Structure 1
Amino acid sequence: MAADNDDLVDQIYQAMHGTLSWQNWIDGLNARFDGVKFALWGHDLKANSHLGMVHSGYDKDYMQQWIDYYSRVNAWAPGLAQAPVGVAQTAEQLLDRQSLLTTEYYHDWVRPQEDIATGVGITFFSDANRFFGLTANVRLKDEEQRNPELKTMMTRIAPHLSRAFDAARRMPKPGNAEDLENLSHGYRSLRWRSIRRAICAT
Structure 2
Amino acid sequence: MPATTHANLESLTDLVYGALFGETDWQDFLDTLNTRMPDAKTTLFYHDSVAGAGAFSLCSGLDDTGLEGYNRYYCTINPWMPKAAVRPVGLGVIADQMLPHAELVKTEFYNDFMRSIGCRSSVGVTILRENNRSFNLSTLTSSTDTGFNRVNADLLTRLAPHLQRAFDFIRRDKAGNETGRSLFDAIGVGLIYISEGRQIRSMNLAAQQMLATDAGISVTPTGRLSSSDRDLREHLG
TM over 0.5: yes
Report 1:40-119 matches (<5 A).
40-42=44-46, 53-114=57-118, 116-119=119-122
Aligned to 2:210: none
Q: Which has the larger radius of gyration?
A: 2
Q: Which runs of 5+ in 1 are unaligned?
A: 45-49, 190-202
| 1:100 Cα offset (Å) | 1.1
Corresponding residue for 1:126? Answer: 129
CA distance in 1, matches of 2:65, 2:6: 35
Residue aligned with 2:117, SS: coil
Using the alignment, how far apart are the partners of 2:181 and 2:47 within structure 1? 14
* Aligned AA (1:39): T
* Structure 2 equivalent of residue 159 of structure 1: 161
Please report how far the alpha carbon of residue 26 of structure 1 lies from its aligned counterpart in structure 2 after TM superposition: 0.7
Count of residues in Structure 1 that have an aligned counterpart in Structure 2? 181
1:148 maps to what in 2? 150
1:197 aligned partner: none
Which has more helix, going by share of residues? 1
> Is the contact made by 2:19 and 2:25 (CA closer than 8 Å) also made in structure 1?
yes
1:149 Cα deviation (Å)?
Answer: 3.0
- Give me the TM-score of the superposition, normalised by structure 2: 0.67
Which residue is 2:179 aligned to? 176
Decide which of 28, 36, 59 is 2:40's aligned counterpart: 36
Task: State the one-letter code of the partner of 1:183.
Answer: A
* RCO higher in structure (CA 8 A, sep ≥6): 1
Aligned residue identity for 1:134: L
**Would the alpha carbon gap of residues 146 and 101 (structure 1) be closer, same or farther in structure 2, given more than 3 Å must change?**
same
Contact 1:51 1:182 (C-alpha < 8 Å) held by counterparts: no
Distance 1:146 1:183, change over 3 A: farther
* Aligned-residue RMSD, C-alpha: 2.9
